[in-house]
A and B are shown apart, each in its own frame.
Chain A
Amino acid sequence: MIEEPYRWVEAIANRREYIESQLAPGSPIAALGYRDGILFVTLGQMRQKIFEIYDRIAMGAIGHPGDIERLRMAAIELASTEGFTRSATDVSLRRLVHYSLSPVMKSAFEQIYGPPYLARMLFAEVGEKPEEDLFLRVEYDGEIASNGATYAQARQDFAALSGTQQSRELMETFLANQHAPDANLETAFNSALDAWSIGHMTLKNSDTKELPEHAAVRTHRQERLANAGIEAALLERDASRAIRYRLLPDNELRPLIRD
């Protein structure tokens, strides 16, 4: 039946709808480039959502744990073998995503008798300067969105990942107004918490087009922080060390919260 082009398009549309509905409850992740590196933040998850990929590359993901795991392993394998055979500086996020991950995810998505990847990922690669930070969001169908670091367009030193497009766009609107790349860790962390709260609040009501009220964000944030752990990781800009990834434990972050 799917030999007919129209059926194929319909099948793809159904598949897209199904995957979107599966990803919709996915809790947001905010990634912000700041003066000393890139900060990944999310809140209160049942399982780890932020991962180290290579010396300067980290990943945040929502979706099915099995699929996330397969993609994460593949990314680590690719980066590690490249880093081993050539050098760590030859491992590039742009190549990893554009030439390896995206094509495979696209064909898995379009081969409708096989399973697609139920995952949405956000990669970041820390640069020597904030202008060189690269953020890439990869969708289940292989679609890539960048922060503009590779093409001539207004670039942003942040990226967001969420269950719905609505929620993600509101996070991005907020960060575009709120976040400056020369912020320190404390400021960046608080912006990330606010962005997370906005993303989390707007997951359920899909018709919200406006940013929630400041007071409502604060209340939501306080409630969630009281009941959930903070998961956060850093890619440090400090070039004296090869491995830039560092987990930030909850107790190191709590004192930085500003209400």
Chain B
Amino acid sequence: MAFDQNFSGAADDFPALLRRKGLLASTGANLLPQVGTPQKTWQPTEATTILAFKFSGGVLVAGDRRATAGNTVVYDRADKVLEIDRHSIMAIAGVPATAWEMARVLEHSFQYFRRTQLQEMSVDGKVRALSKLLRDNFGFVMQGIGVVVPIFATYDFHPKPEARLYFYDAMGAQFEVTDYAATGSGSPAVRGILYYENNWGSKPLKELEEDEAVSIALRALDTAAESDTSTGGVDRSGKIYPLIKIVSREGITTLPEGKIAAVFKETVA
């Protein structure tokens, strides 16, 4: 641990501090394809399914557990729904190495801001922080290595207490949604289901009770897995269930596997 005597003040954000100390790769902007050189067609690979929607108890975020490399399944217990702080979740579709690194940077950024500035970072600030990381990563995306397309769910206490939900594109544009978001290769099917449920289901998504919400999330992931080979859905023989977390005023709850299994048995299987 070296002590930097020329410390200049608090203007740095955490990624800038890491770069100053040589602990984080440069932004990748210099890796953009040069003008005049033959360009590869950019093939986004986001082999997974992540979904999130608001319900009566906050925001539910669910992700399948499969990790793939090409058409090989390499891991069937991947965690793609990551806790960033006590009220924020980042769920990821894309290249795990980049995504987990981003989650780590983000987690430390929020803490670093609070500790140095002596106040909590605003929700808008947190949303922008993720956006900036995505934009910095875009050079790698253009090279076809390291695309990440996340969903960000958090609880805002100002100006009025409410759950907030955002999705991003690979360049870092953020979109706030009122009802639901889905990302990854299996997301078209999920988006269809959530749109249908929200408009013509027994009740709109935001009025669902917890068990009903879990049931819809499981059905949606199972549907996505039906046609998308990169989505694990529910592994009935291996008893591997999707990871489901809920963001509410009280913080983040990870649903125990037993509970998910019970809802699955009753309403899905």
Contacts and interface: CB of A to CB of B under 8 A. Distances in A.
Contacts of A99: 1
A5 B21 CA distance: 38
Contacts of A53: 115
A95 B17 CA distance: 20
Interface string A231-259: 00000000000010000000000000000
Contacts of A211: none
A84 B7 contact: no
Contacts of B104: 84
B1 A84 contact: no
B1 A95 contact: yes
Size band of the interface chain A makes with B: 20 to 34
B258 interface: no
B88 to A, nearest CB: 13
A73 B3 contact: no
A73 B1 contact: no
B112 A76 contact: yes
A104 B3 contact: yes
B118 interface: yes
Contacts of B7: 70, 73-74, 77
Interface string A63-96: 0000000100110111011111100000000011
B18 A76 contact: no
A80 B108 contact: yes
Contacts of B140: none
Contacts of A100: 1-3
B111 A85 contact: no
Nearest to B5: A104
Contacts of A54: 115
Interface string A89-119: 0000001100111011000000000000000
B124 interface: no
Nearest to B251: A241
Interface in B102-141: 104-105, 108, 111-112, 114-116, 118
B256 interface: no
Contact of B111 (A101, A104, A243): A243
Contacts of A78: 1, 3
Contacts of B5: 104
A76 B21 CA distance: 14
B23 A84 contact: yes
Given A99-B1, A100-B1, A104-B5, A81 B111 contact: no
Interface string B2-18: 11110101100010011
Given A53-B115, A73-B10, A76-B116, A84 B108 contact: yes
A239 B63 CA distance: 27
Contacts of A243: 86, 111
Contact of B108 (A51, A74, A83, A104): A83
Contacts of B23: 81, 84-85
Contacts of B4: 74, 77
Contacts of A96: 1
A80 B14 contact: yes
Interface in B1-57: 1-5, 7, 9-10, 14, 17-18, 21, 23
A79 to B, nearest CB: 8
Contacts of B1: 78, 81-82, 95-96, 99-100
A74 B9 CA distance: 9
Give 3 nearest A-B pairs by CB, closest first. A100-B3, A104-B3, A100-B1
Given A48-B118, A83-B108, A96-B1, 10 more contacts: A70-B7, A77-B4, A77-B7, A80-B111, A81-B17, A82-B1, A84-B14, A100-B1, A101-B3, A103-B3
Interface of A: 48, 51-54, 70, 73-74, 76-78, 80-85, 95-96, 99-101, 103-104, 243
